[in-house]
Amino acid sequence: MLRSFVMIAILVWLAPLSRAAGIEGLPAETSPTLRVVHLRLAGELSETPVEDPFGFLTDQAVSLKTLIGRLEDARADKEVGAIMITLDGLAAGYGQIEELQRELLRIREAKKPVFIHSDMYDNRSYLLATGAEEISMAPTSLVLLVGLYGERLYIKTMLDKIGVGSDFIKSGPYKSAAEMFTNTGPSPEADQNMNWLFDSMYDRFIDGIAHGRKAAPDKIRKLVDGGPYTADQALKAGLIDKVEPRDRFIARVKDRFKGRVVIDNRYAEKKKSMSLDANNPFAMFSLFSQMSKPQRVSMRPAIGIIYIDGAIMPGYRSQNPFAGNEGAFAGEIRYAIEKAMNDATVKAIVLRIDSPGGSATASEVILNAAQVAHGKKPILVSMGNVAASGGYYVAMAADEIWADNHTLTASIGVFTGKLVTTQMWNKIGFNWVPYRRGQNAGALSQAAPFSETERVKMQQLVDEIYVTFKKHVTDGRGKKLKKPIEDIAAGRVYTGAQALELGLVDKIGGLDAAVEAAAKRVNLTRYDVRVIPEPLNPIEQIFSELGGRRERPSDVSIGTDGESLLAILGKLDPERARVAKQMLIGIGMMKTQEPMMLMPEMMVVR
């Protein structure tokens, strides 16, 4: 604990005294007549907002909600005449890209030009760029527009090499999550589902580009098939509008408004970054005092946003802010839902889900809390990049479900199983001697596959949970379903566009659209949008750890050795490392052999 506190203190002491206020080559303006908002998009685009009072995470992470909010503010601000975006390696999923592109198109509809520049474009960044009126890029660069390429991960060969077997039980022939452990390639059902899924993803990808560039989809398909392109080739093909270095791009945008412009690099940052006087040895404690002051709670009507972000796990995350805490922990989400339900100022709740699912028990805990809250307040769901299996399960209390076209969802099915590790231990000289009492005593052991009686019992459990899953869907969606549940479930995965056709979701749109719909349900025209619980900054995390919290420590802990290795691998192949990390989290959750609701597609899509 002391080491954590000292680490924070050192970081604060070394924090920059001020943040850069301009782009290179641009003079400071004191009396602007027109404002061009500049957004530099770099680093990871997260779902859950992150408090960053000292600017540690500048250009490294920003939340989708924060970014969309800045764009919305700029669209409504009469002083803002245009938006200028520079891309520097933004890491975002296709669902998030779709929401950003949609907001850029809204800004264009408001008669405000949007300019974008990048040193290079790939599939995702180019799809985002088509939301702009003008696409610019650096000379001698590339537009890597080559269509969608995906990979699914199978590790049976690796498990065989280290002496680890596997034994899994499932309900639903398309519920293929366990195939990564049992197969070296997809089953016919999994292959069929993946091809159907990719067809929809590619159609939405083509349509998104065509809409942004105001071109026929067939033309865009031909252009994608002709890629990749050099900058000059992309210009000739009409994929981009300008080839120029960044300084020329900035100067040209400014010249377009004939000198009546100021470039605003810090637009809509409502909280100024805290600075530290390095000459004052007590300045650090002054900052700690500021950070520890309780925030004023607005009494205005509000729409509450609760994030279900990551694999769904039982219990509570670790209290250590430096520990690996990735995942959506059921205890914390239940507490957040209860808090929103009992807060008189929160008039409606929006669950923002970006999760491949996880523990069946934890998913039920979250759904139960949402069902109780639904008896008192409207609940809407907004789906991000993925809301599948358990991530779809927890949405079944909603009055209305919003998804992006690119969202991966449904995967209505259940499985359970275990990795059998005895041969692995034998290979390294560890000999385990088992003792058991009870017919099914070995069901939870990783020493051997399920016995026949254990298999029958586990299959009964999985089948019962699968029946419950389907009932939640039929109860929650009712007559909105376009097909019988058996023709929709069985582990099949859909894009948001396909889910809309089947009645699994209600509307296509982003988080902002879901919030607006929630406000409309409770007849609000002026309201706050409040994240519940409020994000903690690093200092608040330290003090909450010192003073204790309402939540208990995490009931699940995932070892960090694999994560350390993946940190290295991530530098070599970040996309595959991300999928491998999801797989490791899944393995960690299997240690109790509890039934799971995980999306089957552990895959990379480029």
342-358 per-position pLDDT tens digit: 999 999 999 999 999 98
- Which pairing describes strands 414-420 and 165-171: parallel, antiparallel, or unpaired? antiparallel
Give the H/E segment covering residue 530: strand 528-531
Query: In this predicted structure, what is the pLDDT of residue 475?
Result: 94
Spatial CB neighbours of 236, under 8 Å, sequence gap ≥ 6: none
In 92-138, beta strands by DSSP E:
114-118, 134-137
H/E stretch holding 458: helix 452-477
Phi, psi of 486 (to 5 degrees): -65, -25
Place of tokens 């803002």: 80
Contact 115, 222 (CB under 8 A): no
Round to whole Å and give the CA distance between 223 and 365.
Answer: 48
The radius of gyration of the chain from alpha carbons, rounded to an integer in Å, stands at 25
Number of Cα atoms under 13 Å in the Cβ half of residue 268: 21
Q: 64-76 vs 511-521: helix axis angle to the nearest 10?
A: 70
DSSP H or E segment with residue 418 = strand 414-420
Q: Which residues contact residue 166 at a Cβ distance below 8 angstroms, ignoring those fewer than 6 apart?
A: 156, 159, 178, 181, 182, 417, 418, 419, 420
Instruction: List the domains of the chain with CATH numbers.
Output: 16-146+227-264 (3.90.226.10), 302-605 (3.90.226.10)
C-alpha closest to that of 506 among 470, 475, 481: 481
Q: State residue 585's pLDDT score.
A: 63
Residue 64 corresponds to which tokens in the numbers above?
Answer: 């989708």
Q: What are phi and psi of 299, to 5 degrees?
A: -100, 5
- Determine the Cα–Cα distance for residues 251 and 87; give it in Å rounded to an integer: 17
DSSP-based three-state secondary structure for 220: helix
Residue 26's pLDDT is: 38
Name the stretches of the chain with pLDDT < 70.
Answer: 1-33, 50-61, 259, 268-298, 317-325, 435, 437-438, 535-606
- Measured CA to CA, the distance from residue 367 to residue 390 in angstroms comes to 10
Side-chain-side CA neighbours of 66 within 13 Å: the count stands at 21
Look at the chain and count its residues: 606
**Lookup: tokens for 68:** 């969309």
pLDDT of residue 296: 58
Instruction: Write down the pLDDT at residue 431.
Output: 74
Bridge-partner residues for 171, per DSSP?
A: 414
